Amino acid sequence: MNKHALMLVLAALLAGCDNTAAPLSFTPEMASFSNEFDFDPLRGPVKDFSQTLFNEKGEVAKRVSGTLSTEGCFDSLELHDLEANTGIALVLDANYYLDAQTQQKKLRLQGKCQLAELPASGISWDTDDNGFIVSAHGKDMEVNYRYDADGYPLGKTTVSGEQHLSITATPAADKRKKLDYTSVSQLNEKPLGNVKQTCDYDSHDNPVECELEVVDESVKPAVSRKYTIKNSIEYY
């Protein structure tokens, strides 16, 4: 076999391996935290990441950043909503997340690194046998969460008094492109809005840059807004 033929065979074998290797599932912590703190879940041995949401003017609307241990626990998480002028930075300390500035205990954990309770608001979370958060309870409020076989969040249903809010996400059929999704929101079974996202991916099947369209159907005529999400991810 000549050198050129050998290179072709090796390339074909490597390509075959890449195509047949199943993408990694989402961990319970990553899936659950993304549900609660409104960011796109990531796969694999993530060391730190940031997700920045830009509006149509190119201005930063929201930013989420975090650092994770080799076990996949969030050592820190920082959230900034510039449109709402709100934000918080959390750091892990034993079985609590503390406010990074005040050192006040904000969130209590269960196990090594899963959410258990938000004491100030009286909210507590329940997990299934695999460690995924499946429900949350508070005063006059209950939330139920859904995931697919890969741990990807498929949405949630929130009941508070007479208000019934449901969010249903449908990811792309391609398992490597889970963050290409559409989602529909309904309030008391009436359309509230829908979202569509498409992304470019890295070698870990995580999104590098995404285009997001949000349609608000609660107003007439419906209002459509477009955003760009840029991710920075470092791996172990």
Q: How far apart are CA 26 and CA 199, in angstroms?
A: 17
- Output the pLDDT for position 16: 45
Q: Partners of 198 in the beta sheet? A: 211
- Output the pLDDT for position 9: 52
- Output the pLDDT for position 68: 98
27: nearest Cα among 84, 61, 70: 70
157: nearest Cα among 40, 69, 45, 165: 165
- Output the pLDDT for position 6: 54
What are the b/e assignments for 198-218, b being 16+ CB within 10 Å? bbebeeebbbeebebebbebe
Q: Name the CATH code of domain 40-235 (choices 2.60.40.10, 2.160.10.10, 2.40.160.190, 3.40.50.800).
A: 2.40.160.190
Mean pLDDT per 10-residue run, the chain (236 residues)?
53 50 93 95 98 97 98 97 94 96 96 93 96 95 97 97 96 97 96 97 98 95 97 98
Q: How far apart are CA 173 and CA 150, in angstroms?
A: 12
pTM (two decimals) = 0.88
